[in-house]
Amino acid sequence: MKLTVRRLRTSAAAVLAFAALWASQSTASAVFVSSTADAFGLSSSLASTPVTGGAPTTANIAPVYEAMSNNPPGSNTVVGPLSFASATSPVLVVTVNSITDMATTLPAGTANGTSALTGLGLLTAGPISFSATSINTFSMVTGDVGAFTPTAGTTFAGQVLMIMGVAVVIPSSPAPNTPVNLAAAGIPNATLILNEQTLSGNGTTTRGITTNAFDLRFGVGGNTVVGGTTITGQLILGHSSASIIAAGVPEPSTFALMGIATVTLGLNYVRMRGRKLVQDAV
């Protein structure tokens, strides 16, 4: 009986050791499954319709000069002028970059998306107009399993924001998710967020971050009616995003210890089973 109890204790200790090793292996080295990064200069889905009726005026623009890159390691850069009809300056230079640097042999991975706009002429979106000499934004994720670090940022230069004909001062380097109070200016159900940053993933095996330098939305929670016109849609200036998906794998030493624990469990089972058979025979 004492021998059986001792065997059970040994087995329990082996089980606990096995469980501890299995739990700890998730923080070991990583296999990077995939990474993505993308960026674009601007996009628009704006529309304005007279309250009294009539055809809407739309400004639907797909993401301009979008660049995307994915694992395996690679990069993508797009540069070019854009003719934008509603801009006082006929040329908007957009440079977007997306870079991924991932491999199973690396101790850490990187995903990085950047967007740079230069010479943004006056854009008018209903009661709001905006211009800037440059808009820069980036999103980056680096690190290993359990220790991913997302970073992002936005900078403006020469920015001029007009709301209902009144100039509104905005910072050149706004803090993450800086709101501009449009309701106080007489524009209902609308939002304007500067340096808008959104995290995704569980932070252990997945992490992503998306940044919009300038995110203007109408029709949020109700109709946006200004001066007899209903305005809907969204305008994004300076977009970037980056994400990493990885999985932890045990170190070789961990595999060895797990094997020892498994063998110990097996031997104890065989011994206990043999002892029981002898007792039954007697």
CA torsion sign, 244 to 248 to 252 to 253? Answer: positive
Start-to-end CA span in the chain (Å): 15
pLDDT at 219: 95
Domain ranges (residues) in the chain: 2-24+250-281, 32-248
Q: What does the pLDDT average to over 212-225?
A: 96
* pLDDT the model gives residue 100: 66
Higher pLDDT pick, 115 / 89? 115
Which is more confidently placed, 60 or 95?
60
pLDDT of residue 255 exceeding 60: no
What's residue 13's pLDDT? 54
C-alpha angle with apex 51: 49 to 56, nearest 5 degrees? 15
Give tens-digit pLDDT for 131-180.
Answer: 898 999 999 998 888 888 999 999 999 999 999 989 999 999 999 999 99
pLDDT at 74: 58
Mean pLDDT of 202-212: 93
- For 15-55, write each residue's pLDDT tens digit: 555 545 444 444 445 566 677 888 888 888 989 999 998 88
Please state, in angstroms and rounded to a whole number, the distance separating the CA atoms of residues 168 and 42: 21
Please, which residues have CB within 8 angstroms of residue 249's CB and are 6 or more apart in sequence? 25, 28, 29, 30, 31
Q: pTM for this structure? A: 0.74
